[in-house]
Amino acid sequence: MAGHVVKRFDKFPMTRELDDIRRGVGRLMEEKPDQAKKFIEMLGNTNLDSWRLAGKEDTDGRFAIYYVTIKGGRDFPTHSHEDVYAVVYIVEGKGDVILDGTRHPIVQGDVVHIPKQTVHEFVADGPLSYIAVTSPDFGVQHPDFIFT
């Protein structure tokens, strides 16, 4: 794959991918119906905006990059990812990240490492933005959330 510039930030907010996400939930609904219901509830969260900056089509599925803004409060319900690692850079704002039940304060410039299967949740004191790099790209077709 040749290097290239991905110019999608303002064109493809993740909310426009909801149909693809809902199709991906179909498999989850068959295997883990309770998890699928929680995932669908999460899709209705209006407390955040999320943009997928790069994904499997750009990285051969090796990783994805997301830009997330939280208006205040929780981003997603407490959850983990079965086979996905994440590194999160706090762009602006402050709050807490809860990792396996332990609350850690976060501020602009902090980096959060989230190993696979780590139960986590971000809680913002006010507006908070972060960039998340996930590996591999679990993509919108295969929801990897495990809600607790």
So what's the pLDDT on residue 142?
47
Tens-digit pLDDT profile for residues 33-78: 776 666 666 666 557 777 778 777 778 878 888 888 888 877 777 7
Question: What tokens appear for 62 in the block?
Answer: 């090796």
DSSP string, 25-84: HHHHHHH-HHHHHHHHHHHT--SEEEEEEE-HHHHTTS-EEEEEEESSEESS-SEEESS-
- The model carries a pTM of 0.73
CATH 3.30.1490.20 fits 14-140, yes or no: no
Domain ranges within the chain, ordered by starting residue: 14-140
pLDDT in tens, 78-119: 788 888 899 999 999 999 999 999 999 999 999 999 999 999
